Amino acid sequence: MIYTSTKGQAITYDFFMAMAIFFIILVIIFSYWAYSLKEIEETRAKEEAFDSLLKASQVWFKEGYPVYWSNETVVEIGLANDRKINRTKVELLNDLGYQKFLSLMNLGMFNVFYNVTNETSVVLEFGNPPISANNIYRIERVGVLDNQAVKVETIIWT
């Protein structure tokens, strides 16, 4: 008489191979997902930085509100009038102070530094220069100050 077992054999070599393949695929999918999330976050941070950089550099080419503002009346900072950088507003910028400037600019977590130079010398430096910064973003633009072309360098960093 031959006895046969009616029990199923669930734990076999095939079962372990299937589980190993399943876990390998699961690890690959999870790794790709984590990598994709990291890339998306880095792209979003760069886009935010670029938007803040453009916003910070645009201050040299708009009038602000009110158009002829003072330190007491300023609502929106703009340093230009009639498509030229206004010397009076530039001088008011130094009196305004860095912290008030940052609060009016609403640049979030970014710090800002401006370096304005003509052909021969530095005309203005405003803000805190990035000495030990992690992420530095820079843009250079050209404007007119006192009927002379100047290079306006805008730097933001975290």
Domain range for 71 is 13-157
Mean pLDDT of 107-123: 91
Per the omega criterion (within 30 degrees of 0), is the bond before 129 cis?
no
**Domain-located, residue 105:** yes
For the ranges 9-18, 24-33, 88-97, the maximum mean pLDDT occurs at 24-33
- In terms of pTM, does the model score above 0.85? no
4 found inside a domain? no
What does the block give as tokens for 120? Answer: 């021969």
Domain count for the chain, please give it.
1
Q: List, for residues 90-110, the tens digit of each pLDDT value.
A: 889 888 889 999 999 988 889
> For residue 91, is it within any domain?
yes
* Residue 6 located in a structural domain: no
Residue 3 belongs to some domain of the structure: no
Interval 44-76: pLDDT, tens: 999 999 999 999 999 999 998 999 888 889 999
Q: Is residue 132 part of a domain?
A: yes
